[in-house]
Structure 1
Amino acid sequence: MTLAKTLTIAGSDSGGGAGIQADIKTFQELHTFGMSVITALTAQNTLGVHGVFPQSLEAIEAQLEAVLSDIGTDAVKTGMLFSADIITLVANKLKEYDVKNIVVDPVMIAKGGASLLQEEAVKALTSELLPIATVITPNLPEAAKLLGRAEMRSLEEMKQAAIDLHKLGPSFVVLKGGHLTDGPAVDLLFDGKCIHELEVQRIDTKHTHGTGCTFAAAIAAELAKGAHIKEATETAKAYITAAISHSLNIGSGIGPTNHAAFRYNSN
């Protein structure tokens, strides 16, 4: 049996709701073979991030070499990269191995407010990783940070931001609108010419830990299987909507989404 191969390059979430753990669960649920390169360990639960412990450049490079030189991958999803040095290393390795289907989730701030990307790393992200990305998937605060502007508060501002993010180099932009508080939840896909709106009814739950990681991982899994970007994004939107609709009330804080919910709905 042959499965499409997906690689996540991200941080580990000890609570299991986000990061490497969310990505691997998503890859599995969408019928791809998941692999990982861990950039940092986090001590994390539903109440927040209690510690971030970056891996050495040597350890990260060894993981990348081990996977890419032997197994290879049909798609890569990057998440928490933490520092400029790690971003540079990852970008160089992806170029060295001519990796296709690069999904960049520009993870910057955890749900509880903890910073997951050093300030000086934003420049490296925009100059080295975004230009080789197939698609980037920022939320509104992340988009504002990348563009150096105030956070957008309307759909029209989102549309302009998607166009401006595309100018940073990625082939496609998926701008997530979950932080807007009015009306349905709307994400935008900009393909360089047209803006496509992906709209679903907003779900009333606080248990949304790991939504960004999961959504980006789902896009990567679908691209790995050969889907076009619009089809991949639509499937990922359905996947994360199901996961949020059946989110898990565990722990004392913000619970995770349910990565198996899409399978339940499909059966």
Structure 2
Amino acid sequence: MASVEKRVVVITGGSRGLGLEFIRQLSQSPDILIITVVRNPNKSDGLKQYLGDKVVAIQGDMAEVDSFPSIAEKISLLGGGKVDVLINNAGIMIGEGASPSEGISKSTVGEWEQQFKVNVIGPVFFTNAIIPLLEKGQEKKVVNIASMLGDLQYTEKNPNLHFASYSATKAAVTMVNAKFDIEFKEKGFIFLALNPGWVKTDLAGAHMAAYAPLESEESISQCLRFINRSTVEHSGKFWSLDGNPEAVVM
């Protein structure tokens, strides 16, 4: 169980990519407990190297909403009954949702269902499960990882980049973030829809990662600086990794 003085940060999808980089950088801080929720804790060699007093992994799948109350109970026991920051990072990009060239007419019902379940429904109901713990935390911050692909202005400026079904889920994330802010702003919560930029990760496959201008270390470093300095004035809005409004226009 974490002491009251420790900062308790919960991160979903911490076994690879941006989630793992969040863990790497946050674990360098003193007096912190990072709890990550991942599907297969024992299968991530990258995550295993950080597990210990500062980093704990809990098995959980963001597609299995019925499991969230049980996961929240485990988090409560580990975190001493509170959470300071929740980072909803877990997400999937599949089917034509991972294709820059194929339009929306080529997508399938299955890919839409799976992506909305993990990318939108999962964060909504996982956040609901963690709200009572956040209420007891010092910071009361929820970070919803969004994307420039879900930004209308970016879409208008880049008509040749489709990623249709995935983009729709990320547009939904920004609306979800705004709705949470409306409901909980009077309780001092801070909800951030945060675009980490186009980063070299394996989310969309190696063929797209090769074109990404940002390394994970640079992206998450900027994200954390903004998260740490964010206030209620930032809540409910869509931000780029450096704290500028809306998505990064490239």
TM-score, normalised relative to structure 2 = 0.42
- Structure with the bigger percentage of helix: 2
- Structure with the bigger percentage of strand: 1
TM-score, normalised relative to structure 1 = 0.40
